[in-house]
Amino acid sequence: MPWLQLIIHSNRDQAPAIEDALMDTGAVSVTLQDDADQPILEPALGETPLWDATRITGLYDADVNTDAISLMLLSQLPAAPLQVKWEQLEDKDWEREWMDNFHPIQCGGRLWICPSWKQPPEAAAVNLMLDPGLAFGTGTHPTTFLCLQWLDGQPLAGKTLVDFGCGSGILGIAALLLGADQVVGVDIDPQALLATRDNAARNQLLANAMPVYLPADAPETEVDIMLANILAGPLVELAPLLSRQVRTGGQLCLSGILASQAETVMAAYPDFRFDPVAQKEEWVRLTGLKM
């Protein structure tokens, strides 16, 4: 299906009003992007960050009246000096485009993450067949890769784990395929719970091997390993909950953390003796033993 996109260059203050106006004029989606190479890697708790220079793109059906929409925007936003640009968006099979660029990834000596629609490169390896759906976690992001690499090197036979912020289920399912006894998955997004269930079934795991819960419904039981690949702010805020679910002598594996945030996160977990920090690009993984 052909589409038109309307591009507006704006600033932090005007962006919310422009976003609302685009939706009012019939945009099927609105995307906000950095317009001046100003990365925002993690917002503060409860904050929705915007860049000082923000590029706003509205997506429309190809048969809309572009002149009428431009006039409507100018009338709704008289205080905003708008420079609007219409472009035809190339018609592609976007799902196919994404699938074609997701390739098998080796994470350590034993573990491969393989798209469910591709043949594993090593049939004898531990192959996790993955379709992330709408959830986070394919193994390509440094934080996920660091956690998978750590799991690959652990003796997991008979261990119990919590995968907090399970996303696609990639970490918990990897742990089960590597020998863990049971994993409890927890996520705030119902789509993540659905993706985790689907991926567990895709890897021929029993339904009770990885039960999944919203945080309010999750059981609070002691486990051997706590996995949490989320963000530094939530990791600090959730430290009491995550810490008390790890048995004495158990392990903690945290990621989603920038190198500059490592000390702050470790300080929130005083009951753990941490290993040397592992880093990939600007992201780090923290692992430790509960004393």
| Contacts (Cβ under 8 Å, ≥6 apart) of 236 | 264, 265, 268
Question: Percent helix, strand, coil in the chain (nearest 5)?
Answer: 30, 30, 40
Q: Is 165 annotated as a binding residue?
A: yes
> What b/e readout covers 120-132, taking b as 16+ CB neighbours within 10 angstroms?
beeeeebbbbbbb
DSSP state of 281: T
Give the count of beta carbons closer than 10 Å to the beta carbon of residue 57: 18
| Contacts (Cβ under 8 Å, ≥6 apart) of 197 | 169, 212
Q: Is 144 annotated as a binding residue?
A: yes
Q: Is 199 annotated as a binding residue?
A: no
Q: Is 26 annotated as a binding residue?
A: no
Distances (CA, A) of 132 to 167, 192, 196, 198: 8, 9, 8, 9
Q: What residues pair up with 43 in beta bridges, in sequence order? A: none
Rounded to the nearest angstrom, the gap between the alpha carbon of residue 116 and the centroid of all alpha carbons in its chain is 19
Residue positions counted in the chain: 291
Annotated binding residues, as ranges? 144, 165, 187, 229
Annotated binding residues for S-adenosyl-L-methionine, as ranges? 144, 165, 187, 229
